[in-house]
Amino acid sequence: MTTRPRVVILGGGIGGIKAAQQLANQPVDVLIIDHNNYQVFQPLLYQVATSMLSTDEVVYPIRAFFKKAANVDFMLAEVNGIQPEAKVVKTSHGDVAYDYLIIALGSTPNFFGNQEVERNALPLKTLQDSIRIRSHLLSVFEAAAAETDPEKRKALLTFVFVGAGPIGVEGAGGVSELIYDVLQKEFHHIDFNEVSIHLIGADKCVLGMMPEKLRTEALHVLQKKHIEVQCSMLVTGYDGETLSYRPMSAPKDAPRSTIKTKTVVWSAGVRPVNCLNGFECEKDRGKRLLIEDTIQLQGYDDIFAVGDCSSFTPAGEQRPLPTLAPVALAEGQLAAKNILHTLRGEPLEHLHYKSKGVMAIIGNKEAVMAAGPLRSRGFLAWSAWLWIHLLTKAGFHSNITVTFKWLFNYLSGARLGRLITRPELPGLPEALRNTAEKTVPTDDKQVSKAS
């Protein structure tokens, strides 16, 4: 009996799953390895963090993608390293051999070496992150309601988002609506004039990938939502009590501005995951794996890399393709196609990626969108954002509940997911800690155990 070639895919994100779908029911054996048994739809994580959606509405079981593809299997394991000379992947369940390898491990938050910020800030990258932020946001309001010291209460009611890209803008807008549309009606003894929300970015403007008019519109909407925006700023430290920052153009020894806060949400950049650190191959300045336009890793014919962990700069361009979902989908699909072309002895295809546009949602009925010559803002862009994300997200049943919740929120402004499932706020009063919910609701049981 002839052994079929084995394709191992590291990572069950959108790039890895797209590659596996392309290889489904083809004359290869496919093994997907991931430390989660679900795919996360990351664009909606901020909606879990701000209590609009539940966890099961932004994830989809990996095995469910391949119910009709007997040649695709899944392994729940940690990836510890790659040994290309032996054609082996090191995992928490032992060595896994491959004939072809697709690296689709995504990325992890980049704190740029600032260990103090890394210890104390709240990243928004994983499902566990969104649950933690949700619980943290609700916990600080419970703590503020019982706090009698004005300075401590002010720090509890101060929220800082670092990073002025889509995640920071969408997160800050979502928190503003949670606070002023929902919590303000429920916390009767808090003076909401004490609440402050800050968005701090290193770029010269918010949503730097957008045309200037849309950037200006986004800034205007953020300001209407009581969000103070400061760009061209470098965060220099956060010890859990005080955030310090300075202008990007200022010398290192320049005086720092400070904000007293218990909440810093970090979305200022990403880097490749740690298990790729020891992998010897060509990398860019950000340690991302350099690939050819065939999606093959430079110097390797049998290894492909897709998505956030890879870097490809098209001819004539000065910057690599952005770390966006459409890029990962295109690369994942082409990596799988080129593996099949190789097996058939056919010429390989080359990547010709053309951006379909960029968009960001800032809140209910507020968004900005640029797609080719089309420029849109407000309700139309908001509607397009909702429909595009519904069409992209996996899971028919969850899409029904997501649509219902979006409609319900549009009509009533309610946030149905206001659950404190992980009371981790340092300094939370003991009385509140004792009464906080200690059990995890059904939709959060699995992810709580995994974190």
Residue 160 and residue 264 in contact, taking contact as beta carbons nearer than 8 Å:
yes
Helix H or strand E segment including 118: helix 115-120
Which of 99, 96, 105 lies closest to 13 in space, CA to CA? 105
Residue 307 and residue 327 in contact, taking contact as beta carbons nearer than 8 Å:
yes
Exposed, middle or buried by CB within 10 Å (0-12, 13-18, 19+), for 226?
middle
Distance CA 204, CA 112 (A): 19
Tell me how far CA of residue 28 lies from CA of 22, 37, 333, in angstroms.
Answer: 11, 22, 15
Chain centroid to CA 48: 12
Distance CA 209, CA 35 (A): 32
Which of 32, 34, 57, 35 lies closest to 44 in space, CA to CA? 57
**Token pair recorded at residue 420:** 């404190």
Residue 355 and residue 326 in contact, taking contact as beta carbons nearer than 8 Å:
yes
| Longest Cα separation, the chain | 76
Distance CA 140, CA 122 (A): 14
Residue 362 and residue 169 in contact, taking contact as beta carbons nearer than 8 Å:
yes
**Token pair recorded at residue 248:** 């990007």
Distance CA 295, CA 290 (A): 9
Chain centroid to CA 433: 29
Residue 443 and residue 56 in contact, taking contact as beta carbons nearer than 8 Å:
yes
* 106: phi then psi, degrees, rounded to nearest 5: 70, -145
| Catalytic entry in 57, 142, 147, 170 | 170
- Is residue 217 part of the annotated active site? The answer reads no
What 380-388 contacts at long range (C-beta under 8 Å, 24+ apart), as own/partner pairs, is 384/359, 385/359, 385/360, 385/361, 388/359
Q: Where are the beta strands (DSSP E) in 201-321?
A: 227-230, 233-238, 242-247, 257-260, 263-266, 270-271, 289-290, 303-305, 310-311
User: Active-site positions?
Assistant: 170
